[in-house]
Amino acid sequence: MIKHYLFLFLFPLCCPDVSAQAGPGSNPIDDILKECRDDKENRNPDGSIQCEYAARIAWEKEIDKTYKMLLAILNAEEKRLLKISQKDWITYRDNEMLYASVFYKNMKSETWLVVNAVRLTSIFRTRALELQEYYDMKLLDGD
């Protein structure tokens, strides 16, 4: 029971980003994640972790899709540099996911596992939005 209250207290503190972003003009993945979190059956650590996992998978697909779209419109030098950047990001992602997983699993409360899930989703979300921004800017430039 105490763990449940701790979860209800800590969850809004660790996860304000999606709540603030969901709504008009937000990304559909954020909207789906908010709906999942708002479902009363998911208002527990396991449900929240499942919501985050689903969002992380969706963001990963978004990264792959946008990366391919961006490569299709870049010149040769930009493509070369983006490939290097993406390779380095994958290394960062893997290392950060490993570290965060070990760090949060060593915490005493299972609530930290939810914080870990949010952190992992954030890694993918950030990269997807970065790539989308590059793509949008390239289109706006008309190059």
Max Cα-Cα span within the chain? 58
pLDDT of residue 103: 96
Tens-level pLDDT at each residue, the chain (143 residues): 555 544 444 555 455 444 344 444 579 999 999 999 999 999 999 999 999 999 999 999 999 999 999 999 999 999 999 999 999 999 999 999 999 999 999 999 888 999 999 999 999 999 999 999 999 999 999 75
- Domain map (residue ranges) of the chain: 2-141
Q: Which long-range contacts (CB under 8 A, 24 or more apart) does 11-19 make?
A: 11/48, 11/111, 11/114, 14/114, 14/115, 14/118, 15/114, 15/115, 15/118, 17/122
Tell me if residue 107 falls in helix, strand or coil. coil
Find where tokens 């449900």 sit: 47
